Amino acid sequence: MLRNLRHGLIMWIPFALLCTAAGFGVELVEGSKITITAYFGFRNIGTGFLLMIWFAAVLVYPITFLPLSLLISETANRLTARVFIYTLISGLSGLWYFNSAYETYWQQYALNSTSAVLFFGAAGMLYALLDHYLFNHPKAFRGEKE
């Protein structure tokens, strides 16, 4: 159990990076459709937006994905099951992110939630593959030779 907890804490950084990348991807695809007059006709994606997603991911991980990772590492030993579970949960998280971030804009600008599901689902799939690799190959992670 201690090994799983240590591994879960190591996975905190990739989780935050993947969430930031997925949120940035959704913002590039769907946010680019939104032109707000307050921004003089263009939408500026700045460092503040990326930091906001990064900090949200850092704060959300111990509450959501760490217990989920511990549960999955104890119950689902097959890679295909882990990939399916993480992809499904991440895709649903992407749908939640889209609904909460673009709720006021989606009808007015004809935004599509599919991009959020795909970006976050891909991030979940990458997370599952990285999780499996690092958990089953700890020597490769530490730089030791077998």
What are 19-73's pLDDT values in tens digits?
A: 999 988 988 888 777 754 344 444 556 667 778 888 888 888 888 888 888 888 7
* Euclidean distance between CA atoms 20 and 79, whole angstroms: 24
> Contact at 8 Å (CB) between 43 and 34?
yes
- Compute the C-alpha angle 91/95/96, nearest 5°: 115
Q: Which residue has the tokens 């509450």?
A: 63
Q: Which residue has the tokens 């030791």?
A: 144
Q: pLDDT tens across 112-124, in order?
A: 899 999 999 999 9
Predicted structure pTM score: 0.81
Please give the distance of CA 140 from its chain centroid, rounded to a whole number: 24
Specify the DSSP element, H or E, that contains 129: helix 114-136
| pLDDT score for 93 | 93
